[in-house]
């Protein structure tokens, strides 16, 4: 598993975490924003009117109404990215990461408008009478690029696991164990059964459930978040200032946080923004293609609201909870995951500025004097008496470290360390360090009016958010399988999807996030390429929509 994680980290380094990817993603959004004259602003009011059914036509073809399509797409986007993804970005990139999440969302509103409109325009009716759409259909039917459509569909299937199934249940299971002491495997087993029962009903059952779950989970989460923000109201303005002040410089060391360079804040902010709202990924168009609408642009209008609700509202609430509570730079006792932990030679201290400077360079990929540790140490009663090394966990210096065996037994004996990693895989390393993902958000929610009960809000919210995301992504995957291999391939896909969902409930969190990061980019790049090729058609389609819309409504007057 360690080797597989290393491979994923390498792939992520040349894809999503590479210097060029954020510029490509933001660049496409900026291009269409200017090219279409800021539709996310000009059409914002109209989008709300469409989604509330003001312009619905009863005889329009489709499987869902506008609100159900929006709810299904939102259930696919509002998930662990809003709870665990924001926390991961802030833990790595500091407050500045939130700024770049906002930028991804603002320009992503236009990107989503474009991809949904084009995908709805070239949707098809399947043999069973349901609608099927998505970027693979405009790539095939309009661009005549079967190879690109197949590549995108394959990437969608992979991403349905890397985005929709695996990280969602992983965060649910961790949160349920931390809050209620429920075994991860038990959580995974129960929810896997429920997932199977829901997705067997197809898009109509999925739309019915998500249209009820999404509003409920949003209200619950907002109430809990405001309870923390108002409790720490004196920190709210400084938190916002830090987001903007550090946006182009990176975040300095604070508390246990060693600091992050601009490149980390920018890259992680853009990546987490994409993971959260999926603008440009090409996933939401698959849900919107099922909507009842004769005019593809009207459904594109609805999709403008997704990044706004998902990132600018919900992710901002999460970010302000974490920043205003101070939880992002506080150390908490936790069990260190192998992929978060590095053992370096020598003793480093937060009170020594030169130590912090060297660690800052090391963690931000710059040249430094820091070297990984190799050697053998003696552990007595779980402790190394005079260590010649320092453990870095979650980008912080670990404290009060103890070594345990399964069953909470303290370890005694020799431990071999090679290139900064323990070779004994059964050893549990526990201590105080920064934390990330859902665990960080959970801790932040306890620093408010609800006290310790705040973690239950996160757990329930995460359960609803993440489970609904897994439901929506199963539909994206089965539409991709339908395109690739026909309807007969859907049931085997669903079986594997549910099995993967169960497995991920007790797998390594960091490995899951890395897999998700790779899968997202593999899906996004073909979609961005495709919509750029159809830029002129998109503009003509929007212009035609307004001509027809104005004609219809002037006639009614």
Per-residue pLDDT tens for 163-210? 778 878 887 887 788 778 899 999 999 999 999 988 887 777 887 787
**Residue % of the chain over a pLDDT of 70:** 96
Query: Is the pLDDT assigned to residue 260 strictly greater than 60?
Result: yes
Contact 128, 147 (CB under 8 A): no
Number of H helices, E strands in the chain: 25, 14
Give the integer Cα–Cα distance in Å for 347 and 386: 10
Distances (CA, A) of 92 to 85, 265, 268, 395, 536: 11, 7, 7, 7, 39
Mean pLDDT to the nearest integer, 243-270: 83
Q: First CA to last CA across the chain, in angstroms?
A: 66
Long-range contact pairs involving 480-483 (C-beta distance under 8 Å, separation at least 24): 480/134, 480/136, 480/153, 480/154, 480/156, 480/157, 480/160, 480/286, 481/153, 481/157, 482/126, 482/132, 483/132, 483/134, 483/136, 483/137, 483/140, 483/149, 483/153
φ, ψ for residue 291, nearest 5 deg: -70, 145
Q: Rounding to the nearest 10 degrees, give the CA dihedral for residues 210, 212, 213, 218.
A: 110
> Per-residue confidence at 270, pLDDT binned at 50, 70, 90?
confident
Q: What is the pLDDT of residues 404-448, one digit of tens each?
A: 999 889 999 999 999 999 888 889 999 999 998 878 998 999 999
Query: Is the pLDDT assigned to residue 510 strictly greater than 70?
Result: no
Flag the least confident range among 204-213, 266-275, 465-474. 266-275
Q: What are the respective helix, strand and coil percentages of the chain, to the nearest 5?
A: 65, 10, 25
Query: Is the pLDDT assigned to residue 374 strictly greater than 60?
Result: yes
Q: What is the pLDDT of residues 477-495, one digit of tens each?
A: 989 999 999 888 989 999 9
Within its chain, how far is the Cα of 180 from the centroid? 24
Q: What is the pLDDT of residues 5-51, one digit of tens each?
A: 778 888 888 887 777 888 898 899 999 999 999 999 999 999 999 88
Residue range(s) of every CATH 1.20.1740.10 domain in the chain:
33-330+443-556
Give the integer Cα–Cα distance in Å for 324 and 78: 22
Q: Under CATH, what is the fold of the domain 33-330+443-556? A: Amino acid/polyamine transporter I (1.20.1740)
> Per-residue confidence at 80, pLDDT binned at 50, 70, 90?
low
Give the integer Cα–Cα distance in Å for 492 and 495: 5
Angle, alpha carbons 213-214-220 (nearest 5°):
90
């Amino acid at each position: 598993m360690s080797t597989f994680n290393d491979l994923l980290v390498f792939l992520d380094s040349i894809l999503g975490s590479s210097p060029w990817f954020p510029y490509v993603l933001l660049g496409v959004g900026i291009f269409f924003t200017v090219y279409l004259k800021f539709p996310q602003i000009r059409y914002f009011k109209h989008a709300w009117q469409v989604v509330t059914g003001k312009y619905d036509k009863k005889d329009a073809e489709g499987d869902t109404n506008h609100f159900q399509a929006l709810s299904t797409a939102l259930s696919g986007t509002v998930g662990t990215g809003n709870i665990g993804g924001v926390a991961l970005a802030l833990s790595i990139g500091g407050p500045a990461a939130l700024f770049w999440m906002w930028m991804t969302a603002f320009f992503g509103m236009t990107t989503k408008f474009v991809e949904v409109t084009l995908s709805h325009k070239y949707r098809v009716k399947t043999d069973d009478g349901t609608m099927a759409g998505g970027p693979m259909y405009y790539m095939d039917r309009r661009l005549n690029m079967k190879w690109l459509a197949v590549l995108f569909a394959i990437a969608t299937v992979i991403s349905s696991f890397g985005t929709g199934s695996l990280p969602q249940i992983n965060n649910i299971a961790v949160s349920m164990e931390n809050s209620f002491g429920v075994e991860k495997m038990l959580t995974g087993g129960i929810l896997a059964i429920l997932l199977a029962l829901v997705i067997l009903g197809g898009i109509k059952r999925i739309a019915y459930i998500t249209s009820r779950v999404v509003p409920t989970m949003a209200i619950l989460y907002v109430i809990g978040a405001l309870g923390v923000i108002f409790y720490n109201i004196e920190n709210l303005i400084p938190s916002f200032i830090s987001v903007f002040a550090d946006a182009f410089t990176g975040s300095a060391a604070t508390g246990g946080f060693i600091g992050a360079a601009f490149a980390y804040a920018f890259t992680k902010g853009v990546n987490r923004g994409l993971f959260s709202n999926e603008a440009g990924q090409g996933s939401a168009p698959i849900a919107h293609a099922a909507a009842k609408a004769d005019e593809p642009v009207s459904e594109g209008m609805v999709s403008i609201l997704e990044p706004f609700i998902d990132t600018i509202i919900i992710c901002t609430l999460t970010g302000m909870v974490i920043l205003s509570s101070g939880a992002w730079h506080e150390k908490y006792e936790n069990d260190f995951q192998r992929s978060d932990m590095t053992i370096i030679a020598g003793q480093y201290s937060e009170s020594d500025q030169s130590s912090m400077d060297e660690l800052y360079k090391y963690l931000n990929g710059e040249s430094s004097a820091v070297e990984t540790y190799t050697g053998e140490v003696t552990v007595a009663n779980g402790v190394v008496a005079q260590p010649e090394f320092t453990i870095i966990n979650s980008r912080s210096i670990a404290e009060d470290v103890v070594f345990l065996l399964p069953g909470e037994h303290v370890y005694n004996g020799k431990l071999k360390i090679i290139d900064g990693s323990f070779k004994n895989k059964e050893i549990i390393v526990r201590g105080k360090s920064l934390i990330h993902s859902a665990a960080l958000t959970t801790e932040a929610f306890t620093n408010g009016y609800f006290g310790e009960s705040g973690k239950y809000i996160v757990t329930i919210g995460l359960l609803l958010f993440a489970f609904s995301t897994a439901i929506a992504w199963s539909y994206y995957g089965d539409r991709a399988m339908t395109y690739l291999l026909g309807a007969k391939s859907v049931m085997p896909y669903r079986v594997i999807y549910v099995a993967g969902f169960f497995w991920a409930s007790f797998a390594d969190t960091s490995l899951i996030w890395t897999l998700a990061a790779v899968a997202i980019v593999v899906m996004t790049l073909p979609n961005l390429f495709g919509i750029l090729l159809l830029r002129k058609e998109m503009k003509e389609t929007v212009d035609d929509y307004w001509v027809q819309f104005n004609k219809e409504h002037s006639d009614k007057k």
